[in-house]
Amino acid sequence: MEPPWWRLPSVIPLLLAVSALLIVIVGGSIRINDAGESCPEWPTCFGTWHFIVSEEDQGAYWAENPDQIDSRGEDHRYTVFQIFVEWFHRMLVGVIALPIVYNVIAARKARERYGRGVERAAQFSAVLLVVQATAGYVTVRFDNADWTVALHLSLACLFMAGLIWQYMAMRIEEGADWGFLQAPRDFVEAHSKRVYSMTAAVGVLLVLGAWVSSSAGGQYNQSCSVGFPNGWPKCQGSILPSLDSPGIFIQFMHRSGALLVGLVLVLGVVNLKSASQGQPGTSQIVRLALLTMAMWMFNVMVGASYLIFAKVGDFPEWLSLLHLVGGVAAFLAAMLLTFAMRFSRSHDRGAQQQGEQE
């Protein structure tokens, strides 16, 4: 009898992926609480290793380190809560480092059972954690410039995706009977590129969203005004607004990107569903494609609600955080779809080779 899932070695990368998602959520909380620069240096915070830094201590730090003064100026002061959110985010990254190292060691010891691919996936996650920590330093160094925020989020999503791939690879070796592994080779070969394009489109949209939310300190979120219909679906009361303003241009790019991604997803789902009729093992692939599209639709509604229910100078930031989580969820659903196609292809090839040997 197979042991419960929580006792299987594959639970390690799964728990790490969940932990990484928590770190992303806390990272999003940093932005909505306007705490992105509340720790002016890295890895310490106002020269300390804790988060309780008074306004007087902040002023003394600015006086001693004028080169660290951020975009808000030397007279700005952060609350203890703002500093805590940034500090907690960094602490979580440090905490996850130990199980990541253990994951590498465990994968190496279990190489004969799970293969070199799993070992390399564990090593990839470890390397990416170091790169991600470096990106965190760069984000602080450049005062949360839009490109650093987009880079930081993109690396975090790749980090989670690598752990999910490792989990799926280990579960397959443990005997998981997932339906997509039975998908016919001709179906997989014919639709792999379409699935990859769907995943790439969702990934680009996620980066565009990070660009919008971080450009000009997040002020570009207000460029299209607020309310229905002037703020959404229109922009400044027009379907085709003037793009002279950088903020409106970035908003228009994000909205246009969301529509294009939606078109790619709808066409992809329609094609996959049409080609899957009567094909064994394809229903799970179609469901993953539908899940990706559903996550996209949900996130479009959340993004629209953020502008519709906002008032001038008063935005419902919890919806902004939900919008971030929805974007990440859509990307991970798309990656699951991609991995399902990849694993079904390799599983089919392995079964074919075994049949030839017999």
Global pTM reads: 0.87
Helix, strand, coil percentages, rounded to 5, for the chain: 75, 0, 25
Which residues face 314 on adjacent strands?
A: 311
- pLDDT (0 to 100) of residue 351: 43
Residues 321, 29 contacting (CB under 8 angstroms):
yes
- pLDDT (0 to 100) of residue 199: 95
Give the whole-angstrom CA distance, residue 340 versus residue 334.
10
The string of DSSP letters for 44-66 reads SBTTBSSS---HHHHHHHHHH-G
Q: What are residue 3's phi and psi, to 5 degrees?
A: -65, 160
Question: Quick check: helix, strand or coil at residue 127?
Answer: helix
- pLDDT (0 to 100) of residue 353: 42
- pLDDT tens for residues 141-163? 777 777 888 888 899 999 999 99
Tell me: pLDDT of 350 over 50.
no
- pLDDT (0 to 100) of residue 252: 83
Q: How confident is the model at residue 354 (pLDDT cuts 50, 70, 90)?
A: very low
Where do the structural domains in the chain lie, given as residue ranges? Answer: 1-67+78-176, 179-358
Q: Determine the average pLDDT of the residues in 256-267.
A: 93
Cα–Cα distances in Å, from 93 out to 126, 133, 154, 238? Answer: 12, 8, 16, 43
| Higher-confidence position of 136 and 107 | 107
Q: How confident is the model at residue 246 (pLDDT cuts 50, 70, 90)?
A: confident
Residues 335, 343 contacting (CB under 8 angstroms):
no
Q: Determine the average pLDDT of the residues in 109-128.
A: 94
Q: Which of 335, 350, 338 is nearest to 172 (CA)?
A: 350
Can you give 244-294 as a three-state secondary structure string? CCHHHHHHHHHHHHHHHHHHHHHHHHHHHHHHCCCCCCCHHHHHHHHHHHH
The answer to whether the peptide bond before residue 229 is cis (omega within 30 degrees of 0) is yes
Give the whole-angstrom CA distance, residue 178 versus residue 172.
8
Give the whole-angstrom CA distance, residue 349 versus residue 13.
26
Who contacts 244 (Cβ-Cβ below 8 Å, separation ≥6)?
A: none
